[in-house]
Amino acid sequence: MQQILRRASRLVLIAFLPLALAACGINAIPTKQEAAKARWADVQNNYQRRADLVPNLVATVKGFAAQEQRVLVEVTQARASATQVKVDASTLTDPAAFAKYQQAQNQLSGVLGRLMMISEKYPDLKSNENFLALQSQLEGTENRIAVSRKDYNDAVQDYNTTLRVFPTSIWAATFYSGSKPMQLFSATAEAQSAPTVSFDNSLPGAAPGSPPPATPTAKP
């Protein structure tokens, strides 16, 4: 009889152990880690979407403003750098690699802003249907990037917190000892929004002593 009771107790323990562990949050760490990785994939997709727009945008601007060669070259080089620097889900915990990726993307944001402001100097380019369509797509993509980076930061903050708070910190130190905090985007407000257009007399092609044109602002 005692042997039967012991076996029954073991069966009950086996049956309820997974439930007890789940209630203690043992599954929270991998669940939130995967959620953060998914948000990271969204970030990458949106950056790739932007990179795919750049060649057509450069070609369109070049057709109307070939003399703006310096800016066109800078945009092309920045795109190449941004697409060559890779940070996959396995290296999101590497501060140096993540910072390098972020810097490359921010550099592309900056030179794209300069490329877009060229249109103010060329009325034919500014009114070109292809350019207007690309401009609208770029603005929409910049907004997508801002949203996806925020969603990624929220997911990472949730995951990083789970590694530190009780009781999930117990599982982080035992079952998931290899799990490390993920890196957060720390971009400026300008880098997270559509490029802001501004002019000064240092721009290529500006006449010496000419007054600076008005400063339009791209749609957020």
| The three-state (H, E, C) secondary structure of 154-211, written as one string | HHHHHHHHHHHCCCHHHHHHCCCCCCCCCCCCCCCHHHHCCCCCCCCCCCCCCCCCCC
Question: CA-CA distance, 200 to 190, in Å (whole number)?
Answer: 18
Q: What is the enclosing helix (H) or strand (E) of 14?
A: helix 2-23
Q: How confident is the model at residue 43 (pLDDT cuts 50, 70, 90)?
A: very high
d(CA 183, CA 94): 7
Tokens encoding 103: 């810097």
pLDDT given at position 215: 39
Let me know: does 183 contact 157? Beta carbons within 8 Å: no
Query: pTM for this structure?
Result: 0.76
- Say if CB 145 and CB 44 are below 8 A apart: no
* Interatomic CA distance for residues 79 and 215, integer angstroms: 25
Least confident span in 16-20, 49-53, 55-59, 171-175 = 16-20
Whether the per-residue pLDDT at 6 is higher than 70: the answer is no
Greater model confidence, 188 or 68: 68
Residue 204 or 83, more confident: 83
Residue 180 and residue 156 in contact, taking contact as beta carbons nearer than 8 Å: no
Closest CA to 105 of 84, 132, 129: 84
CB 179 within 8 A of CB 29: yes
Is residue 187 predicted with pLDDT exceeding 60? no
Chain centre distance of CA 56: 22
89 or 179, which is more confident? 179
Calculate the alpha carbon distances from 159 to 16, 20, 44, 180, 204 in Å: 26, 21, 19, 10, 47
User: pLDDT for 66-82, tens place per residue?
Assistant: 999 999 999 999 999 99
Query: Can you list the domains of the chain with their CATH numbers?
Result: 41-192 (1.20.1440.20)
Reduced to 3 states, what is the DSSP secondary structure of residue 216? coil
The per-residue pLDDT for range 205-220, each reduced to its tens digit, is 444 344 444 434 444 3
Q: What pLDDT, on a 0 to 100 scale, did the predictor assign at position 138?
A: 97
Q: How far apart are CA 102 and CA 82, in angstroms?
A: 9
pLDDT of residue 201: 42
